[in-house]
Structures are given as C-alpha cells and as structure tokens.
Amino acid sequence: MSLEKSVVVITGGSRRVGLHCARTLRHLGCEVHITYRSDRPDIDVLRTEGVICHQVDFEEDDSLNRWLDFLRKDAPPMRALVHNASLWLPDSDPATDYQTTIRRMNRIHCEAPYLMNMAAAERLRLGGSPLSDIVHITDYVIEKGSDNHIAYAASKAALDGMARSFAKRFAPLIKVNSIAPSLLMFQEDDDLEYRRKTLAKSALGVEPGPQVIADALIYLLNNRYMTGRVIALDGGRNIR
C-alpha cells in the first residue's frame, strides 16, 4: 500500500524517535505534520525538508484547545495520527511533588491523546485509503511496572488500554494499535556502567535505534487486518 501523499500527524516529532519517524515518512512521500513543545534548531531544518510543524503545549489548556480545533475543523483528511509525545518523570525521590507528577503524566500520555482521537476521528475517516490508523507509542514498562517511575508507567498503561477501546469504537474504518518499546536510544550523558546494565536486560543486548519504531509504524499502516493489538519492541526482555 503506497503512503505517498498520505497525511500523517506525529506528536512530539522534533527530537529522537519522533524526529526520525517524521523524516522517514516524509522520505516516503507523506505530508507529515508534527507537534513540538519548544523551539529547537531541528524545527527550522524540518520545515526546509517539507515537514509542517505545529507548536503545541499539551499541558496548557489554550494551546491544547487550539490544536484540538485544528484537528476537528482545519486539518486535511488524515491517513494516520501517531501519539509519540512523552514525558519521563521519576517519582522515587521523597521530595517529589507527587500530585503534580501524576497530573502531568496523565495529561501527556492519557488526557491529550484521548481528546485528540475524539477530535480527529472525522478527519481520519476521510483520509483512509481505504483504512486509516491511530498508533499509540506506549512502553514495555507497563508489563512489569517500575518502582522509580510509577506515574509514568501507570499513564502509559492507560494509553495502552485506550488503544483497545478506541479500536472497538472506531472500527471498521480506523485501525488503532500500539507499539511498546523498551530501550531504543541512550541519552548522551548515560555512563558506561548504566549502558552495560541496561543492555544486559534484553536477550538481544543491543541499542537498536529509532528505525525499529519507524519500521513497526510503517508495518501497521500497511496492514489492513490488525487492530486493537500491540507490537512489542523489547529485544527479548520478556524471556530474560
């Protein structure tokens, strides 16, 4: 199935995995829209590459509401909506403001995607060829939990659960699936010991990079018979 000229919206598309997916789909001829929270050099570069960039702060009501209005009224017919925007806040420090942490995690990973799916539903129905897609990027951690990132894991679990519910609601014209990765890319300041321990957690023991997400995303967009499911990209952590 050709994706050329398909309209794909990716939240959090200005860095790391989202940035790579935006460029990959643009290279395939898609009309790619991304959201970004803060200006950064990559935004200007993306614009020169033909990516349409929208500044949206999902934690600010006015900004989110303007974005929802765009999805509801002004967005072109959409082939896919990809929920990649994420925030990774720890809650292991006793000094953590737990109330703020759980609210921020829920806003980014649960409330905003829920509202976007509702707002974009009609534009997605119009953009299918013949079907359209919503893809939730969740996290492997929802299978095992995390004692250091409880709010993060809980909100990503909510995002995972919503995918199945939306798959029921939006069938048969819109497919809704999840991709659940573990380690994809280290941060530049991650030390060697941390990298060694993290790589040892998976059977494959590699840092795969962002292309594995792009590959999974393209697979979902091209598969006409998959909805309400999860693609696990954990390198075999489940068998360790």
In angstroms, how far apart are the furthest CA atoms of the chain?
Answer: 51
Helix%, strand%, coil% for the chain, nearest 5: 45, 15, 40
152 in active site: yes
Beta bridge partners of 228: none
Strands 132-137 and 80-83: parallel
Rg (CA), the chain: 17
Identify residue 173 by its one-letter amino acid code: L
Catalytic residue among 140, 152, 219, 225: 152
Give residue 166's Cα distance to chain centre: 15
Q: How far is residue 239's CA from residue 103's CA, in Å, rounded to a whole number?
A: 33
Name the residues annotated as catalytic: 152
